[in-house]
Amino acid sequence: MNNRTYIEIVNGAPIEEPARQYYFMEQLKNVIQEKESTLGRKLVASVATFGCQMNAHDSEKIIGILREIGYEIVEDAKADFVLYNTCTVRENANLKVYGRLGHLKKLKEKNPNMMIALCGCMMQENVVIEKLKKSYRFVDLVFGTHNIFKLAELMFEAFNADKTVYDIWEDTTMIVENLPSVRKYSFKTGVNIMYGCNNFCSYCIVPYVRGRERSRKSEDIIKEIESLVKDGVVEIMLLGQNVNSYGKNLDENITFAGLLEKIEQIEGLERIRFMTSHPKDLSDELIEVMSKSKKICNHLHLPVQSGSTDILTKMNRRYTKEGYLELVKKIKDKNPDISLTTDIIVGFPGETEEDFLETMDIVKQVEYDSAYTFIYSKRTGTPAASYDNQVPDDIVKDRFDRLLKVVQDISAKRANMLEGTVQDVLVEEINDHDDELVTGRLSNNLLVHFKGDKDLIGKIVSVKLNECKGFYYFGEMINE
């Protein structure tokens, strides 16, 4: 396209969102069609997602836009448009991306038409951008977490640029609604209820890369869920870094528990999940609403991070070991068979053997159904990165192994308790290893494999859990 036409197209774009993006999607449809007729084949795109559910959901929006403009989506890295939606919560998430980029460089040398785009949390870090500018100049487009909605406009720019297009926003108050999205599963999906995080746990980079906390209006959330349900969704996962502080920056007077009560009323919706709950903000009102609800799943992810009050203080978590245990007691009193899961960090700076034993103790007291255990990873820019007393690797590894053993034994014991019972199961897919079996999810988030066919996918059925295999079950469907 000549420069003049390009400028005319950009100047002709509406200012308001999302109309502006729909305009660029129309322009891109022409660009893609032209390329397809030159090449004599369909153009394909691939999206690789790293990190948490938040990123997975962002990728559904990205894929929605790519499909809309005409790409076929493939799993393969050998695509015409390759996008990595990155995570930077721990260093290894970060290293994986650099490793994969090395591989992409070789593919691009063979196919100069290939376009490479990077987005997500890693791109919000200055050190990453500097490194890309210096050593990864073959990348075509780089944007962050705040402007994913702008993908169409940025791609249009990248197609017309002869160097990397960078668009990184420091933060935003904008929430752009109603763009296309393609769900990975037809029957379940994530729904953002809030963005960003204000907690600044001292080890965590998320507040720096996802910006300040902002909640979506309850009306918009309800409308989105209603339209998802009309489109076949029966289970939703409400997403936020700290769902328990939902509503704090809104004009309307609403809490997370209040939002859940509204969502419960939506006819046709069967299951409600949410993550993540910060213990410091978990209200009695929420415990009450969970115990009364027919739709909220029997599962609560309640990251503890450490069992030592000393370490929790240094982590800026704003609760104590005793406070956390009291909260767990309140939750279990009202919801006796709830499944509790958690996140734990081992080897936070200054963690002593005594601190670590407190973590082992809290794990044994709470008896988590499962726990994600992480080795502390130093993140540049966070307060903990400059703390003294970083724990030596061999000690951390030893603690990590000891913790994992305890966590796994307790998980197996908890899972065994349901053996022989009949549970409601949402059928998710044909089993990976045996196509006579289907795989479904219990309310408590565990999986069960049982005989069935693809017609069951997306349905909730009763399944007897015949055999517990530690982290999952084999069962049989019961016709009621």
Residues in touch with ligand SF4 (CB under 6 A): 197, 199-201, 204, 206-207, 241-242, 278
For 217, the token pair is 């209006």
Supply the minimum distance, in Å, between the C-beta of residue 212 and ligand SAH. Answer: 14
Return the residue of 24, 187, 203, 256 that touches ligand SAH, per CB under 6 A: 203
Which of 47, 79, 83, 87 is in the footprint of ligand F3S by CB under 6 A?
87
- Nearest Cα residue to 63 out of 38, 87, 83: 83
For residues 210 and 198, what is the distance between their CA atoms, to the nearest angstrom?
Answer: 10
**Shortest Å, Cβ 189 to ligand F3S:** 17
Residue 192 interacts with which of ligand F3S, ligand SF4, ligand SAH, none, CB < 5 to 8 Å by class: none
Smallest distance from the beta carbon of 447 to ligand F3S, in angstroms?
22
Give residue number: closest CB to ligand F3S: 51
Cα–Cα distance, 417 to 366 (Å, whole number): 16
Give, as ranges, the residues between 260 and 319 that touch ligand SAH (CB under 6 A): 276, 278, 303, 305
Under rule CB under 6 A, residue 70 binds ligand F3S: no
Region of 106-114, 119-127, 161-169, 371-379 interacting with ligand SAH (CB under 6 A) = 371-379
Answer yes or no: are the C-beta atoms of 426 and 269 closer than 8 Å.
no
The string of DSSP codes covering 325-353 is: HHHHHHHHHHSTT-EEEEEEEE--TT--H
d(CA 267, CA 250): 26
Instruction: Return the residue of 45, 69, 89, 104 that touches ligand F3S, per CB under 6 A.
Output: 89
Residue 368: CB minimum distance to ligand SF4, A: 17
Task: Show the binding pattern over residues 193-212: x = contacts ligand F3S (CB under 6 A), - = does not.
Answer: -------------x--xx--
- Least distance from ligand F3S to the Cβ atom of residue 53, Å: 8
Q: Is 148 in the site for ligand F3S (CB under 6 A)?
A: no
Instruction: Count the neighbouring beta carbons within 10 Å of the beta carbon of residue 42.
Output: 12
Label the pairing between strands 472-478 and 460-468: antiparallel
Q: Which residue has the tokens 């308001």?
A: 16
Q: Among 112, 111, 104, which residue's Cα sits nearest to residue 83? A: 104
Q: How many CA atoms lie within 13 A of 21 on its CB side?
A: 20
- Binding range to ligand F3S, per CB under 6 A, among 49-57, 130-138, 333-341, 429-437: 49-57
Residue 286 binding target from ligand SF4, ligand SAH, ligand F3S, none, CB below 5 to 8 Å by type: none
Query: Can you tell me which of 90, 210, 273, 295 binds ligand SAH, judged by CB under 6 A?
Result: 90
User: CB under 5 to 8 A by kind: which of ligand F3S, ligand SF4, ligand SAH, none does 377 bind?
Assistant: ligand SAH
Phi, psi of 47 (to 5 degrees): -125, 120
Query: Which does residue 61 bind out of ligand F3S, ligand SF4, ligand SAH, none, counting CB within 5 to 8 angstroms by kind?
Result: none
Tokens of 353: 């053997």
Q: Token pair of 472, please? A: 């999952």
Q: Which does 200 bind (CB under 5 to 8 A by kind): ligand SF4, ligand SAH, ligand F3S, none?
A: ligand SF4
Strands 422-430 and 460-468: antiparallel
Q: CB-wise, 51 or 279, nearer to ligand F3S?
A: 51
Among candidates 239, 196, 233, 187, which has minimal Cα distance to 54? 239
Closest CA to 128 of 100, 88, 158: 88
Handedness of CA 437, 269, 52, 413 (dihedral sign): negative
* Phi, psi for 238 (deg, rounded to 5): -80, 130
Give the interface segment with ligand F3S, choosing from 23-31, 47-55, 146-154, 280-288 (CB under 6 A): 47-55
Question: What type of residue is 379?
Answer: R
Place of tokens 């000549």: 2
Residue showing tokens 């009291």: 326
**88 sits near ligand F3S (criterion: CB under 6 A):** yes
Q: Coil, strand, or helix at residue 402? A: helix
Binding mask 218-247 for ligand SAH (x = CB under 6 A): -----------------------xx-----
Beta bridge partners of 344: 305, 373
Least spacing, CB of residue 1 vs ligand SAH, in Å: 42
Whose CA is closest to 437, among 387, 476, 400, 388? 476
Q: Which is nearer to ligand SAH, 408 or 416 (CB)?
A: 408
Answer yes or no whether residue 51 interacts with ligand F3S by CB under 6 A: yes
Site for ligand F3S, rule CB under 6 A: 51-52, 54-55, 87-89, 121, 206, 209-210
Site for ligand SAH, rule CB under 6 A: 89-90, 203-204, 206, 241-242, 276, 278, 303, 305, 343, 345, 374, 376-377, 379
